[in-house]
């Protein structure tokens, strides 16, 4: 089974520029997450999709960040315009979901390798 794919792996931009990240979840996984991981911190959830609908985007800075999952499969996260403090690793994760946890791990989150963004 292929894992979660993300691209690009690295991106360097100047502040006020725009950037987009792409994520392809594991086949058949209904739930998709975007996390922001700032250096020295744990991942912070930005947005959660269930198929093509948004479940939770309460921590997404909506004035500059946007995300979509139009066909309920792959997803794009965009930052426009970028700020210095957006420098971080952006992680995508997917989960077979929905529903509650089971001991069988049906609802384990699988993470992609991340995109490291540097804003100069």
By CB atoms closer than 10 A (0-12, 13-18, 19+), residue 105 is exposed
* Shortest Cβ 119–other proteins spacing (Å): 19
Q: Which residues bind other proteins (CB under 8 A)?
A: 3-4, 9, 31, 40-45, 48, 55-56, 91, 93, 95, 97-98, 100-101, 103, 105, 107-114
Smallest distance, Å, CB 99 to other proteins? Answer: 8
Positions of E strands within the chain: 5-7, 10-13, 19-24, 31-37, 44-50, 53-56, 65-68, 75-79, 88-95, 110-111, 115-119
Nearer to other proteins, 19 or 47 (CB): 47
Q: What does the alpha-carbon distance between residue 107 and residue 55 come to, in Å, rounded to a whole number?
A: 16
Nearer to other proteins, 19 or 89 (CB): 89
- Taking the complex as a whole, the smallest distance from the CB of residue 87 to other proteins amounts, in Å, to 16
């Amino acid at each position: 089974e292929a894992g979660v794919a993300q691209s690009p792996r690295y991106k360097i931009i100047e502040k006020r520029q725009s950037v987009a990240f792409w994520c392809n979840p594991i086949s058949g996984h209904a739930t998709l997450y975007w996390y922001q991981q700032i250096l020295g911190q744990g991942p912070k959830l930005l947005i959660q999709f269930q198929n093509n609908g948004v479940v939770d985007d309460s921590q997404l800075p909506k004035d500059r960040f946007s995300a979509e999952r139009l066909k309920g499969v792959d997803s794009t996260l965009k930052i426009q315009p970028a700020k210095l403090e957006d420098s971080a690793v952006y992680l995508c994760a997917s989960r077979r979901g929905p529903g509650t946890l089971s001991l069988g791990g049906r609802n384990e989150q699988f993470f992609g390798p991340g995109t490291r963004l540097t804003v100069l």
